[in-house]
Amino acid sequence: MKGDLRVLGIESTAHTFSAAVVSEKRGLLCDVRDIYAPPEGSGIHPTEASIHHAAVAAKVVKEAVTTAGIRWKEIDAVAYAMGPGLGPCLRVGAVTARTLSLSLGRPLVAVNHAVGHIELGCLLTGAVSPLVLLISGGHTMVVSYSSGMWRVLGETLDLTLGQLLDQLGRYVGYASPCGRRIEEAASRSHRYLRLPYTVKGNDVSFSGILTAAKRLIDAGEPFDDVCFSVQETAFATAVEVTERALAFTGNQELMVVGGVAANKRLAEMLGVMVDRHSAKFYVVPLRYSGDCGAQIAWTGLLAFRSGDSIPVEKSVIRQSWRLDTVPLPWRAGA
Amino acid sequence: MKLLYRGAEADIFMGEWAGAEAVFKFRKPLPYRLPELDEEIRGQRTVHEAEIIRDARSAGVRVPYLYYVSPRESLIVMQHIDGPRLKTFLQSADRRRAQVSTEFGRAVGTLHRAGVMHGDLTTSNVIVGESGVHLIDFGLATHSLKVEDHAVDLRLIKETLVGAHSEISSSVMSSFFKGYAEVVGEKRAKEVSKKLLEIERRGRYARVE
């Protein structure tokens, strides 16, 4: 299509290697993923995951371009997730993106993975400038846009919600990510076991819940009851701080994004809360709640359109890259 | 009774108590929370808040007078303090901004010196009254003399300022620290602000210089 802009995006911050193509005029054209699966009882081993990514990279990228129905030379820019994430995994995505950028002769765009979750969420749900609850294995944060950046109004002081669920699951032998299996176990129980409910100011903390839950498991409490209690307690603290932030900012939109956004009980609790404030509630569609190339491609397109790109020799990776330090030129004036 | 403010965990009503204007703080059931967990948290927070307000007052912090406390109803009735919230005040570009910020620092310093951590020091929980800066909403307060806990209080102030008043946050923070240090002493103030940076550094993916 003439006058269109197409960006190929590569995601490789953790267990997912994914490539997607977005078009300025036609939106998301494809999103191809290959996910590293750790053995039962294990988490993501960064090196193992990166070996997986390196093995599937070429196949995933080719499939993305084929599925998008475009020719290589129709790609206008290549975006990659610069961080935050696991070093070895990030490197595979960066190398893939640099290679494509050099061989196609197209500019390279660096994208922050967390910003990607939010921008893709806005694209898919229609939210404009929402209060955002970002919950995944890497993040548990409540953020709101103000003066050029996403500002943090509350966050976890230790584990993320994703880590809490994964570590609980791994304790009984599941492989990461354990969210879905924990949710299933929790749905089979209605017996509440008291766990530490920790809200500090507008921040939450989950390490106490994890320790107490492991002790309950050791004491022989049924796993379903423990999962139910962990979800009820941990989610209630997250919803409480989100509600505070909603009341504080007076924002009329709440959007939840990130892998844990797939949890139905959490979405239900947030929905009940949002109703009390007569705000609009947006949940990122299930397929795009987890890590994907689409979040990088779309954010890359927004950034590229605002004139952003990075020379290959400066295209490093950033394992630690806080969301509230990322400039968002495309949101300026919003 | 008139609804003044629909907060995240409590509704605030304006009414009358023994002939005086009074604020009714009612911790409503939160429907997303499991009822047994919800009742326990609301009762606990009501009693706790009343005790802390009493302690803050004896330490010399400007706080509302308590008229009536009922844990069973999750209700606290207290004095009404006239004036804008600090949040509104800071948005109004008032020329007393520095002075008020310093006074806010002194109030928090006095509270901390008395061994109380507020736990929810957003700019919505500070009233710029005629007689001075008042602190309200002690729902998440705890007794603590720990540097860490006091730093957590200041971190929330900073977080709120950067989040909602980003353009003026550093000038407000420096006036605040002036007042805070006056009360707790330069040495303690330095310890707390050092700990504040340490906490920020502990944040996920943080790079604090």
CB contact under 8 A, A197 and B41: yes
For B33, the closest of A139, A202, A236 (CB atoms) is: A236
Distance CA A194, CA A230 (A): 9
Give residue-wise pLDDT tens across range A21-45: 999 999 999 999 999 999 988 889 9
Chain B 124-143, residues with CB within 8 Å of chain A CB atoms: 124, 140
B120 tagged catalytic: yes
Amino acid B157 reads I
Closest chain A C-alpha to B19 CA, distance in angstroms: 31
Nearest residue to A12 (alpha-carbon basis) of A68, A94, A67, A75: A94
Please state, in angstroms and rounded to a whole number, the distance separating the CA atoms of residues A246 and A257. Answer: 16
pLDDT of residue B24 exceeding 50: yes
Q: Helix, strand, or coil here: A44?
A: coil
Question: Which residues 176-205 in chain A show a CB within 8 A of chain B?
Answer: 192, 194, 197, 199-203
How many angstroms separate the CA atoms of A326 and A112, rounded?
Answer: 7
Peptide bond preceding A46 in cis form (omega within 30 of 0): no
Q: What is the pLDDT of residues A203-216, one digit of tens each?
A: 999 999 999 999 99
Q: In terms of pLDDT, which residue wins out, B115 or A3?
A: B115
* pTM of the predicted model as reported, rounded to 2 decimal places: 0.84
> Which CATH number, 3.30.300.20, 3.30.1600.10, 3.30.420.40, 2.40.110.10, labels domain A6-118+289-331?
3.30.420.40
| pLDDT at residue B59, rounded to an integer | 95
Q: Which two tokens stand for residue A53?
A: 């990514």
Using pLDDT thresholds of 50, 70 and 90, give the confidence band for residue B209. Answer: very low
Cβ distance B204 to A155 less than 8 Å, yes or no, reads yes
Concatenating the DSSP letter of every residue in B24-43 gives EEEE---TTS-HHHHHHHHH
Check CB contact of B4 with chain A, cutoff 8 Å. no
Rounded CA gap, A311 and A293, in Å? 21
pLDDT at B202: 80
CATH of domain B2-79: 3.30.200.20
Residues A239-274 pLDDT 10s: 999 999 998 899 999 999 999 999 999 999 999 999
d(CA B189, CA B179): 10
Residue recorded with tokens 């962990």: A230
- Using the beta-carbon criterion (under 8 Å), do A200 and B7 form an inter-chain contact? no
B155 touches chain A (CB under 8 A): yes
Check B38, B55, B94, B120 and give the catalytic one. Answer: B120
Best to test chain B binding among A86, A133, A144, A153 (most B CBs inside 10 Å):
A153
| pLDDT tens digits, B146-170 | 999 999 999 999 989 988 888 889 9
Domain A129-286 class, CATH top level? alpha beta
Range B86-202: architecture per CATH: Orthogonal Bundle (1.10)
Lowest mean pLDDT among A293-297, B41-45, B205-209: B205-209
Sorted by where each begins, the domain ranges of chain A are 6-118+289-331, 129-286
A181-185 CB contacts, 8 Å cutoff, 24+ apart: A182/A227, A182/A230, A182/A231, A183/A227, A183/A231, A183/A263, A183/A264, A183/A265, A185/A223, A185/A224, A185/A227, A185/A228
Domain A129-286 in the same topology as domain A6-118+289-331? yes
A2 pLDDT band (50/70/90 cuts)?
A: low
Query: Domain-by-domain residue ranges, chain B?
Result: 2-79, 86-202
**Residue A231's pLDDT band (boundaries 50, 70, 90)?**
very high
C-alpha distances in angstroms, A1 versus A30, A294, A304? 16, 20, 18
A30 torsion bin: left (phi>0), alpha (psi -120 to 50), beta (else) = beta
